[in-house]
Amino acid sequence: MDCKRVLLSEKEMPTAWYNLQADFPKPLPPPLHPGTHQPLSPADLEPIFAKELIAQEVSQERWIEIPEAVRKIYAIWRPSPLVRATNLEKALKTPARIYFKDESHSPPGSHKPNTSVPQAYYNKMQGINHLTTETGAGQWGSSLAFACAFFDMKCKVYMVKVSYHQKPYRRSMMHIWGADVTPSPSHETEAGRQILAADPECPGSLGIAISEAVEAAVARDDTHYTLGSVLNHVMLHQTVIGLEAEKQFKLIEDYPDVILGCVGGGSNFAGLSFPFIRHKLQGKDIRFVACEPHSCPSMSRGQYRYDFGDTTKLTPLLKMFTLGHGFVPPGIHAGGLRYHGMAPMVSFAATLGLVEAAAFHQIECFEAAKLFAATEGTIPAPESSHAIRGAINEAIRCRETGEEKCILFNLSGHGLCDMGSYDRFLSNKLEDYAYPQDKIEEATADLPVVD
């Protein structure tokens, strides 16, 4: 019988990440200083990021070596399997071939450690022993805690207060790996104290947690800040996913016609897509679909312009698709897909016509997740279910047209720490919600015009 999973040995793991910046037909718009609106210099970022990461952020090199120490930790779960979803194909009665890259087997359960490990490593090499970050549902925070455990670094996570109390499992994972987790807003930072003075019951937000984590990093010389998505160096580290997939397709003599990934900040989508976008730029006929919730439609309905990365306007301005930094995420269950912006590299690729966007409602995504779990076994993360929905819709179109397309999507993580969301789906407590257009107009009205 044909093999269900296409496996690579550790020796076949990629030894360099791929940098799409080297192949963009024109330069990516640079980040701007929030005060002067001038392009940032590397020195502007040195108080909070490792020098090597800043260099990667602006690098035009096509290949950047993966350090051996990073590959040794990657080897705990990488290379990850490429899986043929034969049971799902049968259930859909589609002539299409469906594959997924399975990023759910890392210890924290998602693709996030592909970047938390190198981020911890480069900081450690520079003599930094303490990292801060923010986390919402906890996927990024737990991945950074995991990485810090391996490099014997302190890890401080500001976790959105409402998630801290409602999502105890990922908080506990961070504790097991030795991280210090503080519900945000907290009294530990000036930003937190100001918020709490105004509203002692404030449930917190990602924007506030970012402010606290950045402030805590700036306050100490031995401490840096880390981000789990959006930035160029994060996209770079995630390309290990697509580079492995490229080798795996070669082994089985197949090749994808369409590649899908869910998008919040954009990192898992970029990781799988960018190595194949390089082929598209070389003439290959291949489509890329970024799958997002209708409740947070930055790619499909946002504006492409300079905006802040956080709610409180502390970060540099990034050229990206945005719903406005004042975006208030509605209470949907795809925890990781609630950011107002989209990675500048993914956004730029979309403006160049390389990437399409598709938006889905949460109920149809949970339905796709349930079918996936019953046919392929794994219970997917609610975030990943957007990519599954997109892939299923492609496969259904193939059933109708008779096309034997090859569909590839990224299973960015499992849903074992998100069963509460599944419960609400199964008990019919979920409602669909499309983010109102007028709110986008309103939230982007006061953005600086710098183009």
From the list 379, 381, 407, 443, which residue makes contact with its own copies (rule: CB under 8 A)? 379
Among residues 67, 61, 87, which one has the least CA distance to residue 5? 87
User: In angstroms, what is the minimal distance from the CB of 19 to its own copies?
Assistant: 25
Chain residues 174-193 in contact with its own copies, contact rule CB under 8 A:
175-178
Piece of the chain touching its own copies by CB under 8 A; list 204-212, 268-276, 377-385, 391-399: 377-385
Piece of the chain touching its own copies by CB under 8 A; list 226-234, 405-413, 421-429, 433-441: 421-429
* Exposed/middle/buried for residue 110 (C-beta within 10 Å: 0-12, 13-18, 19+): buried
Q: By C-beta, is 37 or 90 nearer to its own copies?
A: 90
**Amino acid present at 268:** N
Among residues 121, 81, 115, which one has the least CA distance to residue 101? 81
Q: By C-beta, is 178 or 448 nearer to its own copies?
A: 178
**Residue that has been written with the tokens 């490429």 in this structure:** 82
Rounded to 5°, the CA angle 239-241-243 comes to: 70
Q: Is 432 helix (H, G, I), strand (E, B) or coil?
A: coil
Please give the order of strands across the beta sheet that includes 180-184: 180-184, 154-160, 130-135, 223-225
Query: Interface mask (CB under 8 A) for its own copies, residues 197-226, using x and -?
Result: ------------------------------
From the list 28, 416, 439, 448, which residue makes contact with its own copies (rule: CB under 8 A)? 416
Chain residues 5-24 in contact with its own copies, contact rule CB under 8 A:
5, 7, 9-11
Q: Is 307 helix (H, G, I), strand (E, B) or coil?
A: strand
User: In angstroms, what is the minimal distance from the CB of 419 to its own copies?
Assistant: 4
Q: By C-beta, is 174 or 323 nearer to its own copies?
A: 174
Among residues 417, 373, 371, which one has the least CA distance to residue 176? 417
Q: By C-beta, is 151 or 327 nearer to its own copies?
A: 151
Give the separation between CA 260 and CA 256, rounded to whole angstroms: 10
146 near its own copies (CB under 8 A): yes
436 near its own copies (CB under 8 A): no
Largest alpha-carbon pair distance within the chain? 65
173 near its own copies (CB under 8 A): yes
Give the separation between CA 399 and CA 403, rounded to whole angstroms: 7
Tokens linked to 314: 């502390």
Among residues 436, 451, 211, which one has the least CA distance to residue 311? 211
Concatenate the DSSP letters of all residues of 357-382 into one string. Answer: EEEE-HHHHHHHHHHHHHHH---B-T
Is the CB of residue 291 less than 8 Å from the CB of residue 390?
A: yes
3 near its own copies (CB under 8 A): yes
313 near its own copies (CB under 8 A): no
Q: By C-beta, is 73 or 230 nearer to its own copies?
A: 73
Is the CB of residue 27 less than 8 Å from the CB of residue 319?
A: no
Strand pairing category for 317-322 and 356-360: unpaired
428 near its own copies (CB under 8 A): no
User: In angstroms, what is the minimal distance from the CB of 39 to its own copies?
Assistant: 39
Cα distances from 11 to residues 72, 111, 115, 427, in angstroms, run 11, 20, 20, 46
Piece of the chain touching its own copies by CB under 8 A; list 49-57, 73-81, 127-135, 203-211: 73-81
417 near its own copies (CB under 8 A): yes
Q: By C-beta, is 363 or 419 nearer to its own copies?
A: 419
Query: Interface mask (CB under 8 A) for its own copies, residues 314-343, using x and -?
Result: ------------------------------
* Residues at the site binding its own copies, with contacts judged by CB under 8 A: 1, 3-5, 7, 9-11, 68, 71-73, 75-77, 87, 105-107, 109, 146, 149-150, 168-169, 172-173, 175-178, 370, 373-374, 376-379, 416-417, 419-420, 422-423, 426
